């Protein structure tokens, strides 16, 4: 089994954190899908990371699919709860966090285009998704110590990766003063070895 990933991808970081929490030893093959010589399309026809290649050669892609697979591979540190409603609520957190990242990535890529080709309407639309998404995360978290249930779960990992990616790519987005409960969660998560060890390299 090996993971094909970019070290700056928040989706890949989510998978790497799950691997660490589950104590699954998995080598990482670093590949940047935007590079002309990228081998990512050989593993994932969509050309996206992360991709998990299993021992039998089968490949899993989309971080949500990969983390669910990994949580069922090992009984160590279960990150997804039993029970359909509890599971769906946890995955709802993940979907919201990933959606904020989707919007942030869309902004990042649009900003790479020549200024005359950039669409301000498109950028504003993505910023609106981020603003509404952060407000929803904060509202749903409330004063609880963890996103869902009584302890640490995939919901917290997804939200932690989301907030860290905003800090990494968009430090001008001032979410910390507006949402102190999210900041408190982030500070707690960043003390965990799995988060420390997967910090992205400097951009």
Report pLDDT digits (tens) over 19-30: 999 999 999 999
Mean pLDDT of 73-83: 93
Instruction: Indicate if 93 and 64 belong to the same structural domain.
Output: no
Are 57 and 6 members of one domain?
yes
Whether residues 122 and 56 share a domain: the answer is no
Q: Is residue 201 part of a domain?
A: no
Q: Is the pLDDT of residue 82 over 80?
A: yes
Structural domain contains residue 65? yes
Domain check: are 129 and 59 in the same one? no
For residue 197, being part of any structural domain is answered with no
Looking at the fold, whether 157 and 187 belong to one and the same domain comes out as yes
Q: Residue 86 corresponds to which tokens in the numbers above?
A: 């509890």
Asked whether residue 148 is domain-assigned, the answer is yes
Residue 202 lies in a domain: no
Give per-residue pLDDT as tens, 155-181.
999 999 999 999 999 999 999 999 999
Question: What backbone torsions phi and psi does residue 4 show, to the nearest 5 degrees?
Answer: -100, 120
Res 128 pLDDT > 70: yes
The token duo for 21 is 């929490």
Residue 115: DSSP 8-state:
G
Pair 20, 119 in one domain: no
Domain boundary among 73, 100, 131: 73
How many angstroms separate the CA atoms of 61 and 47, rounded?
Answer: 10
Residues 46, 197: Cα–Cα separation, whole Å: 28
Q: Is residue 125 part of a domain?
A: yes
- Whether residue 153 sits in one domain with residue 115: yes
Instruction: Measure the CA–CA gap between 27 and 83, rounded to whole angstroms.
Output: 32
Show which of 53, 73, 93 is a domain's final residue: 73
Sequence-separated (6 or more) residues with CB below 8 Å from residue 74: 22, 23, 24
User: For residue range 38-74, what is the model confidence (pLDDT) as tens digits?
Assistant: 999 999 999 999 999 999 999 999 999 999 999 999 9
How would residue 135 be classed by pLDDT, with cut points 50, 70 and 90? Answer: very high
Judge whether 78 lies within some domain.
no
- Confidence grade of residue 149 (pLDDT, cut at 50, 70, 90): confident
Q: Is residue 115 part of a domain?
A: yes
Q: Which of 73, 94, 121 is the last residue of a domain?
A: 73
The yes-or-no verdict on residue 182 having pLDDT over 60 is yes
- Give how many domains the chain has, as a whole number: 2
Q: Are residues 53 and 131 in the same domain?
A: no
Instruction: Identify the CATH number of the domain in which residue 32 sits.
Output: 3.40.30.10
Percent of the chain with pLDDT over 70: 100
Query: What is the extent of the structural domain holding 168?
Result: 84-192
Same domain flag for 95 and 68: no
Judgement on whether residues 14 and 63 belong to the same structural domain of the protein: yes
pLDDT at 203 exceeding the cut of 60: no
Co-location of 105 and 156 in the same domain: yes
């Amino acid at each position: 089994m090996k993971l094909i990933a970019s070290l700056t991808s928040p989706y890949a970081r989510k998978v790497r954190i799950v691997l660490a929490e589950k104590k699954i030893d998995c080598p990482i093959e670093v590949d940047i899908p935007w590079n002309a010589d990228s081998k990512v399309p050989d593993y994932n026809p969509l050309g996206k990371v992360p991709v998990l290649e299993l021992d039998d050669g089968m490949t899993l892609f989309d971080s949500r699919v990969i983390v669910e697979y990994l949580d069922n591979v090992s009984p160590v540190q279960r990150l997804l709860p039993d029970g359909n409603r509890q599971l769906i609520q946890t995955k709802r957190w993940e979907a919201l966090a990933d959606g904020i990242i989707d919007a942030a990535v869309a902004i990042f890529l649009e900003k790479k285009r020549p200024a005359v080709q950039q669409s301000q309407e498109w950028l504003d639309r993505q910023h609106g998704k981020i603003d509404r998404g952060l407000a929803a995360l904060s509202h749903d978290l409330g004063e609880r110590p963890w996103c869902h249930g009584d302890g640490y779960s995939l919901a917290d990992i997804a939200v932690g990766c989301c907030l860290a990616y905003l800090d990494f790519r968009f430090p001008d987005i001032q979410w910390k003063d507006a949402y102190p409960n999210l900041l408190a969660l982030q500070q707690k998560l960043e003390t965990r070895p799995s988060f420390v060890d997967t910090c992205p390299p400097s951009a």
